[in-house]
A and B are shown apart, each in its own frame.
Chain A
Amino acid sequence: MILEKDVVVIGAGPAGLAASIEAAKAGAGVLLVDLNLKAGGQLFKQIHKFFGSRAHYSGTRGYDIGRKLVREAESLKVDVWLQSTAVGVFPGNKVGIERILDGGVKKLYTVHGKAVIIATGASENAVCFKGWTRPGVMGAGAAQTMVNVNHVRPGKKIVMLGSGNVGLIVSYQLMQAGCDVLALVEAAPKIGGYAVHAAKISRAGVPIITSHTIVEALGDEKGTVRGAVIAKVDSHFQPISGTERTIECDTIAIAAGLRPVVDLTRLMNCASVFEPVFGGFIPLHNTDMETSVKGIYVAGDSTGVEEASVAMEEGRIAGTAAAQSLGYLSAAEAGKTKKLLWERVNSLRSGPFGERRLTAEKNLLEHFREEIREPQPEIMIGGLAHGAD
């Protein structure tokens, strides 16, 4: 049996929640699915206060933003299925969902959504060095989940690799949990993330060692991490031999960036491009956040790794556009909302950190207009996906 819904939203992070809220507010029937036990995506492990403006709940802690969004979605009667993984999206907007029911029984559903919004977020990049598979080497996101969600310290003495915001924030949170962060190692000559986050760990005495990388994770007799060998790198990021030194530690956390999770848009043959500014391969979209395949929308980190504030705005745009396409909003109403939302996204992408993303986004929208124009489902699933590359 195929279930029918106006809008199916995949992924209940800030993007998916905001999309669901917007579509439901307009009157659409929404099903929101997430593979986790809880809705909220990344927000539930983020115990720090967020940047942004009031409209983006700035100054509020990530998990509180998550709770607010979940409550709002529930009050709008969004149907939320947790422990439910979208295992495929098939032509005709059919979404295959594997749902774990009470008692652990798994059941497969097919849900037809008149519109489908994909907001599957991002996954962590790995860095390979000698010994990188030892127990004790982990992603920074995993370390963050351990301390903030499961309340378990990954270790006592930590070396962090990567000085983007994730590396900086997770270092701080590991210290809050009572771990010692012995050093933060960064291959680039400069700190990648916001200076205020760096300042926070600096004044707690954590050295930030730039132009260095980890070349080896040393193991003890059981094979678990007992130290990190770091070395200076040259201008091509190659370790310079003879500069090695060892920092004794029991955990190495890697914060080497995130990449968009695009399995579902790939499966749908949505035209995509490689855009390093956004973290890798991403589906192209227009100003409705609609992909080259009509009726399939994207939002959040899965269409470019940025921030929760941008993810929410993109979700709202996708939700509004989906509701409009189903006749729940007039072109005039939806147009006004979308214009306002795009202005907010653009303002978030201003300044030296945002400029590159603003330019990249402009090019992507242009690309979509030129190569794809008004998308037609039949051409999309075949040729144009390649033609657009």
Chain B
Amino acid sequence: MALIDEGYLEFSELQEKQKLPDAERFQRGPVAVLECIQQIPCNPCEAFCPFGAITVGSPITNLPVLDAKKCKGCGTCVAKCPGMAIFVVDKSYSGTKGSVSFPYEYYPLPQAGDEVAALNRKGKAVGTGKVLKVTNPASFDHTPVVTVETDLSLTDEVRNIKKGVLK
């Protein structure tokens, strides 16, 4: 398993361990992707989702399960997950571009409009992205959520950005 051997998830591994939203749900708008595949004692995703879309239940080491129908893609869980393992992916708004929202706790924060290098789960640059927004309300408790636009085909791969602006 790449994750515990090397420290990153392969997408195929994720598909095996987590039930991801189906293609039809992705078409309907932004939705959470839970990249949490180990039974660890944790449940803030369940506790903080305002729409009750995530269930961990008892025991607390259960894997979280997303009810993609209930999920509104609001991003609250992205900031609340202590494992920084939740992403919101939007594949719905254009035939060629999509966006990925992820937690980002480094300074300096990127700004909307920045052109950046888009990194995959291994930290490798796989393309370029444009920062659409940086959401950082007090309720996120210092975990800003960055939304970056990339090629639609990269939305299952891009999970971070490289510090600094490209141009």
Q: Mark A144-172, 1 if CB is under 8 A from B, else 0.
A: 00000000000000000001000000000
Determine the residue in chain B with the shortest Cβ distance to A51.
B42
| Contact status of A199 and B8, CB under 8 A, knowing A51-B42, A59-B44, A347-B58 | yes
Chain B residues with CB below 8 A from A51, complex form: 40-42, 82-83
Instruction: Give bound CA distance, A53 to B114, whole Å.
Output: 37
Instruction: Give bound CA distance, A49 to B85, whole Å.
Output: 13
Q: Is B120 an interface residue (CB 8 A)?
A: yes
Chain B residues with CB below 8 A from A307, complex form: 41
Q: Is A52 an interface residue (CB 8 A)?
A: yes
- Across the interface, do A350 and B38 meet the contact criterion of CB distance under 8 Å? no
Q: Is B31 an interface residue (CB 8 A)?
A: no
Give the shortest distance, in Å, between A14 (CB) and chain B (any CB): 15
Give the shortest distance, in Å, between B78 (CB) and chain A (any CB): 12
Instruction: Give bound CA distance, A48 to B48, whole Å.
Output: 17
Q: Looking at the complex, which of A26-34, A106-114, A115-123, A186-194 is the stretch in contact with chain B?
A: A186-194
Q: Which of B8, B38, B40 contacts A202 (CB 8 A)?
A: B8
Q: Is B24 an interface residue (CB 8 A)?
A: no
Number of residue pairs spanning A and B whose beta carbons lie under 8 angstroms apart: 142
Q: Is A336 an interface residue (CB 8 A)?
A: no
Q: Mark A182-221, 1 if CB is under 8 A from B, else 0.
A: 0010000111001111111111111010100000000000
Chain A residues with CB below 8 A from B120, complex form: 203
Chain B residues with CB below 8 A from A206, complex form: 123
The CB with the most chain A CB atoms within 10 A, among B38, B41, B82, B119, is that of B41
Q: Which of B7, B9, B107, B141 contacts A61 (CB 8 A)?
A: B141
Q: Which of A58, A61, A163, A201 contacts B42 (CB 8 A)?
A: A58
Chain A residues with CB below 8 A from B141, complex form: 49, 59-61
Determine the residue in chain A with the shortest Cβ distance to B142.
A61
Chain B residues with CB below 8 A from A58, complex form: 42-44, 47, 82
Q: Is B166 an interface residue (CB 8 A)?
A: no
- Across the interface, do B3 and A350 meet the contact criterion of CB distance under 8 Å? no
| Contact status of A352 and B39, CB under 8 A, knowing A199-B8, A199-B121, A205-B124 | yes
Instruction: Give bound CA distance, A10 to B120, whole Å.
Output: 47
- Across the interface, do A348 and B38 meet the contact criterion of CB distance under 8 Å? no
Give the shortest distance, in Å, between B160 (CB) and chain A (any CB): 4
| Contact status of A199 and B3, CB under 8 A, knowing A53-B43, A194-B40, A348-B60 | yes
Chain B residues with CB below 8 A from A175, complex form: 106
Determine the residue in chain B with the shortest Cβ distance to A56.
B41
Q: Mark B72-98, 1 if CB is under 8 A from A, else 0.
A: 000000001111110000000000000
- Across the interface, do A53 and B4 meet the contact criterion of CB distance under 8 Å? no
Give the shortest distance, in Å, between B124 (CB) and chain A (any CB): 7
- Across the interface, do B121 and A202 meet the contact criterion of CB distance under 8 Å? yes
The interface on chain A, measured as residues whose beta carbon lies within 8 A of the other chain's beta carbons, has a size of 44
- Across the interface, do A203 and B160 meet the contact criterion of CB distance under 8 Å? yes
The CB with the most chain A CB atoms within 10 A, among B40, B106, B123, is that of B40
Determine the residue in chain A with the shortest Cβ distance to B125.
A205
Q: Mark A40-69, 1 if CB is under 8 A from B, else 0.
A: 000000001111111000111100000000
Q: Mark A340-363, 1 if CB is under 8 A from B, else 0.
A: 000000011111111000000000
- Across the interface, do A194 and B7 meet the contact criterion of CB distance under 8 Å? no
- Across the interface, do A53 and B60 meet the contact criterion of CB distance under 8 Å? yes
Instruction: Give bound CA distance, A276 to B7, whole Å.
Output: 25
Q: Is B61 an interface residue (CB 8 A)?
A: yes
- Across the interface, do A205 and B119 meet the contact criterion of CB distance under 8 Å? yes
Q: Is A133 an interface residue (CB 8 A)?
A: no
- Across the interface, do A351 and B121 meet the contact criterion of CB distance under 8 Å? no
Tell me the A326-383 residues at the B interface (CB within 8 Å).
347-354
Give the shortest distance, in Å, between B5 (CB) and chain A (any CB): 6
- Across the interface, do A196 and B40 meet the contact criterion of CB distance under 8 Å? yes
Q: Is A176 an interface residue (CB 8 A)?
A: yes
Give the shortest distance, in Å, between A194 (CB) and chain B (any CB): 5
Determine the residue in chain B with the shortest Cβ distance to A204.
B123
- Across the interface, do A350 and B82 meet the contact criterion of CB distance under 8 Å? no
Q: Which residues of A contact B (CB under 8 A)?
A: 48-54, 58-61, 163, 175-176, 178, 184, 189-191, 194-206, 208, 210, 307, 309, 347-354
Query: Which 5 pairs of residues, A with B, have the shortest CB-CB distance?
Result: A351-B61, A205-B123, A196-B83, A59-B44, A351-B39
Given contacts A175-B106, A176-B106, 17 further A-B contacts (CB under 8 A): A50-B82, A59-B80, A61-B141, A61-B142, A189-B5, A195-B4, A195-B9, A196-B38, A198-B7, A199-B84, A202-B7, A203-B8, A203-B121, A205-B122, A208-B7, A349-B41, A353-B41
Q: Pick 26 A–B contacts, CB within 8 A, sort by A.
A: A49-B143, A51-B40, A51-B42, A52-B43, A53-B60, A54-B43, A59-B81, A59-B141, A189-B5, A190-B4, A191-B6, A194-B40, A196-B35, A197-B83, A202-B6, A203-B8, A203-B122, A203-B123, A203-B160, A204-B123, A205-B124, A206-B123, A307-B41, A309-B41, A349-B41, A353-B61
